[in-house]
Structure 1
């Protein structure tokens, strides 16, 4: 008897996740799935569920799998899924909320510190034989204001770290509940005007696309640090480059980009005021297991509820 199929847009899942799905046949697309390949596998296997690791899921893919009942994100961001198309077809969209919160918050902290403490620049100088102790000063974050956009599991975890460093924490999130007492809720204009560091931790929507743009950057404090471990589409990349060139932005540390993988050559390359990482904030050994188990568990709970 054929088992129902779960299609994974990636090359693997954590062993703990595959054990949750032991009643299903798991089909993998490979580590760099192209839309045409995902579409073909949907047509061939007619999966009952899809675990989205890489790439996106379109309405065309959904139509190619008439048995599809749930799309489960291996992580928290669902902007690469046609959610309206899924709703129209009665397909549930689920995310493993909070599964990678620790990993992403830690990465955001590392990027913020790398900017403030010039760790990459100083490391390169040391390897080149220089000793800049008498001529270089870093930025002390104690007492500085961090503005956090998005106060979900990741944003609030990052906020707790910043509070422990005795930073003033302000945050914007019109949908957040149970905001910690050390976070001062403010509007976006206050974030732009008051923050010494701005860190993004919100999903990408049609309403907030390129929310950091020439207009909002002009409101920011001179010398602001920008950290983005959320979605690249939140930032107008050309406007950010211009603000860095003008000195409005002192440093930017980016883990996500408008186009991924980041196009090469890219104007961010070889810019010493921009620190880059390949959307790896949520990729830790623990998060890999947590996201896989979360995605698998969401499939089981959704299918159970539909039966």
Structure 2
């Protein structure tokens, strides 16, 4: 009897995840699949499930796969999946919630520290033969305030790290409950005004696209640090560029961008004051396994009517 198919919009999956899906035939879309590639693979293989690593799944792909039951994200962000189209077709959408929380929170911490301590700039100067001890002043983070937009698994983990640095932690998340005592919840305008560091940890939605724009950046303290390990669409990129150039923003540490991979003429390229990484916050050896396992268990839970937590 022919096995049901799982389409992976990537080139691989952790061996541990493949073991969970041993009763399925696996099809891989490659390292950089386009939306059209995914539609064609859905048409050719009619998968029961799609595990989304790169690119995304639109209505055309869903219509090309009449057997599709579940779209399972290899990670926490589902903005590349047309969730309205999935709901209209009775297709479940699942995310690997919390599977990469440690990895992404650590990346946010690294970017914050790199911005405050000018780590890449000083490294480049040292390699060029300079010794800037008498002229350089870094920013001390202890006692300063970090404002977190989003207090899910990643935001809470980052908050704990910031608290350990003796930073004051404020946060905005209308859905968060049972928060630890070291997080003070505030509205967004208060967060913009009080934060010395702003770190984004929320999903991208139609309501918050361009959340950090010219208006909100103008409300911030002069010299604020901006960190984004969530989704690039949360930031109005030209507005952030202008704010860094003017000094309103001291530095920006970014792991995500409005268009990925970034284009040759991307506005931040070559600009001082920007520390960039290629959306790899969740890409660690541990997170690779954790996200793969969670995505695979979510596939089986929906396709077979099982409890994901009970799947070995």
1:288 matches 2:288: yes
Aligned-partner Cα distance in 2 for 1:212–1:56: 24
Partner of 1:107: 107
TM-score under structure 1 length normalisation: 0.99
Aligned-partner Cα distance in 2 for 1:137–1:236: 29
Partner of 1:23: 23
What is the CA distance between 1:213 and its match in structure 2? 0.4
What is the CA distance between 1:108 and its match in structure 2? 0.2
Query: Secondary structure at 1:57's aligned position in 2?
Result: coil
Query: Secondary structure at 2:94's aligned position in 1?
Result: strand
What is the CA distance between 1:53 and its match in structure 2? 0.2
CA deviations 1:20-76 (Å, max 9, x no partner) are 000000000001001221111100110000000000100010000000000000000
Partner of 1:41: 41
Query: Secondary structure at 1:50's aligned position in 2?
Result: strand
What is the CA distance between 1:272 and its match in structure 2? 1.3
What is the CA distance between 1:268 and its match in structure 2? 0.5
Partner of 1:264: 264
Aligned-partner Cα distance in 2 for 1:102–1:267: 30
Q: Aligned ranges for residues 110-259 of structure 1 at < 5 Å?
A: 110-259=110-259
Query: Secondary structure at 1:174's aligned position in 2?
Result: coil
Partner of 2:309: none
Aligned-partner Cα distance in 2 for 1:27–1:205: 30
CA deviations 1:180-231 (Å, max 9, x no partner) are 1110011000110000000000000000000000110110000000000000
CA deviations 1:242-292 (Å, max 9, x no partner) are 111111101001000000111112220111100100000000000000000
- Unmatched tracts of structure 1, length 5 or more: none
Partner of 2:61: 61
Aligned-partner Cα distance in 1 for 2:288–2:253: 23
Aligned-partner Cα distance in 2 for 1:193–1:205: 23
- Unmatched tracts of structure 2, length 5 or more: 307-312
What is the CA distance between 1:305 and its match in structure 2? 2.2
Partner of 1:87: 87
RMSD: 1.0
CA deviations 1:146-183 (Å, max 9, x no partner) are 00000000000000000000000000000112211110
* Paired positions, count: 307
Aligned-partner Cα distance in 1 for 2:201–2:51: 22
Query: Contact 2:75/2:291 (CA < 8 Å) preserved in 1?
Result: yes
Aligned-partner Cα distance in 1 for 2:97–2:258: 22
Query: Secondary structure at 1:66's aligned position in 2?
Result: coil
Aligned-partner Cα distance in 2 for 1:159–1:145: 11
